[in-house]
């Protein structure tokens, strides 16, 4: 791992431009910490401590091995030129890359989790869809059965109506027959009543006539 870092570091140094200009970006080397001083030389007071990978703007490159720089916060000071690089340190790049990899891995894990959740939802939706289809088929069968039963019920109802009409017609016929029979019975009763009256009158007439006939016969026999 250290060899890889050293190779990348040397490659970056070789590929970087060697010329400097005002406010040219520079980066603190792979040393963990360097000092920023108020002036050139170790006798100058330390202004602050810079860490590896800090970005600096190169303001001036001195002849004593020190360069004047400015931090991203606007603090200006002098640092040793040999501790500056034209590109971020490999340590910083590796750390940044590791952070990006971790972020990407986290995003991938979240995406896989979302995909699993979505797959589960799709499976549930498919199961619900199958259940709805089965329910629809069952309801359709029940509807067809109800339609068939309703048709049979309508036919039976029509037959029932026809039978009721026939029964009513039969009732009317029976009532007419009863009336006719009653009339005939009344007529027959009147006939027997008249016959009885006639017989009674005949008996009375005979009762009146027969004594007279007997009396006349007796008279006729007396005259002889």
Residue 7's pLDDT is 52
Domain ranges of the chain: 2-88, 99-167
Task: Give the DSSP H or E segment for 37.
Answer: strand 33-37
The sign of the dihedral angle between the CA atoms of 99, 103, 106, 112 is negative
Give bridge partners of residue 36 from the DSSP assignment.
48
pLDDT tens digit string along 143-198? Answer: 888 888 777 777 777 877 887 887 777 777 777 777 776 776 666 666 677 777 77
Under DSSP, is residue 1 helix (H, G, I), strand (E, B) or coil? coil
Ranges in the chain, pLDDT < 70: 1-22, 26-32, 89-96, 181, 184-191, 210-224
Concatenating the DSSP letter of every residue in 166-211 gives HHHHHHHHHHHHHHHHHHHHHHHHHHHHHHHHHHHHHHHHHHHHHH
Q: Provide the CATH number for the domain formed by 2-88 in this structure.
A: 2.30.30.40
């Amino acid at each position: 791992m250290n060899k890889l870092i050293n190779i990348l570091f040397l490659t970056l140094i070789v590929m970087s431009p060697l010329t400097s200009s005002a406010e040219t970006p520079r980066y603190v080397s792979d040393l963990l910490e360097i000092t920023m001083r108020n002036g050139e030389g170790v006798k100058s007071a330390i202004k602050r401590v810079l860490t590896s990978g800090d970005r600096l703007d190169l303001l001036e490159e001195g002849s004593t091995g020190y360069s004047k720089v400015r931090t991203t916060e606007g603090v200006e000071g002098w640092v040793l030129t040999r501790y500056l690089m034209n590109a971020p340190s490999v340590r910083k790049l590796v750390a940044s890359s590791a952070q990006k990899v971790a972020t990407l891995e986290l995003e991938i894990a979240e995406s896989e989790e979302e995909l699993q959740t979505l797959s589960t939802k799709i499976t549930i939706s498919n199961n619900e869809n199958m259940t709805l289809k089965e329910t629809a088929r069952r309801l359709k069968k029940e509807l067809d059965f109800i339609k068939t039963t309703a048709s049979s019920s309508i036919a039976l109802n029509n037959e029932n109506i026809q039978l009721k009409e026939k029964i009513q017609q039969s009732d009317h016929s029976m009532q007419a027959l009863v009336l006719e029979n009653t009339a005939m019975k009344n007529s027959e009763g009147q006939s027997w009543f008249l016959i009885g009256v006639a017989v009674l009158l005949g008996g009375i007439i005979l009762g009146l006539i027969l004594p007279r006939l007997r009396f006349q016969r007796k008279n006729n026999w007396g005259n002889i």
